[in-house]
Amino acid sequence: MTIDKEIEKGTTEEEYEEDPKVYEVGFHIVPTTAEDDVASVVNTVRDTIENLSGVIISEGTPKMTQLAYSMDHIVANKKSIFDKGYFGWVKFQVVPENVLKIKEDLEKNDSVFRFLIISTVKEDTISKKTMVKFKKTAPAPKQEIKKTEKKEEIKEEEVDKAIEDLVVE
């Protein structure tokens, strides 16, 4: 919703700018980063958010993932192509005007080669997988089913009479 629409509803521009929103940033870290240095890159992302009065809600530890397609990243006028990277995410709450500053800082970070910032909700939206345990029970003993069929003999005379009743002359 734009600021203009918020103002139409009676919210002043100052109130709108001071109302923090919830965002999530997903990012890929350059795969050439040593595993020990991945934590420092995440701390840099966290510090960027916290320095702009952001509050960290939750985060996902970066894990090496295969990318769906190769991507290029230019650092110091040198082009590198990556087909994998460390993927991590951070959910945070911040004033909307500071999101652009966070974006600018992430663009300057040479260790992050791709990121996406989205607006989201505070609640956890990831569905939890639950394990269902079934009790093993002994199979029921097989019971023989006895069918007793009574065959009635139909007389030819009765069949002929029923046919005659159905036939209209």
- The ranges assigned to domains in the chain are 18-119
Return the pLDDT at 49: 95
Cα–Cα distance between 28 and 111 in angstroms, integer?
A: 8
Domain 18-119 class?
alpha beta
Residue among 91, 35, 42 nearest 64 (CA): 35
Beta strands (DSSP E) in the chain are 21-29, 55-75, 78-94, 112-119
Return the pLDDT at 143.
67
- Reading the chain (169 residues) residue by residue, the pLDDT tens digits are 433 444 445 444 454 456 899 999 999 999 999 999 999 999 999 999 999 999 999 999 999 999 999 999 888 788 999 999 999 999 999 999 999 999 999 999 999 999 999 999 888 766 666 666 666 666 666 666 666 666 677 788 888 888 887 776 5
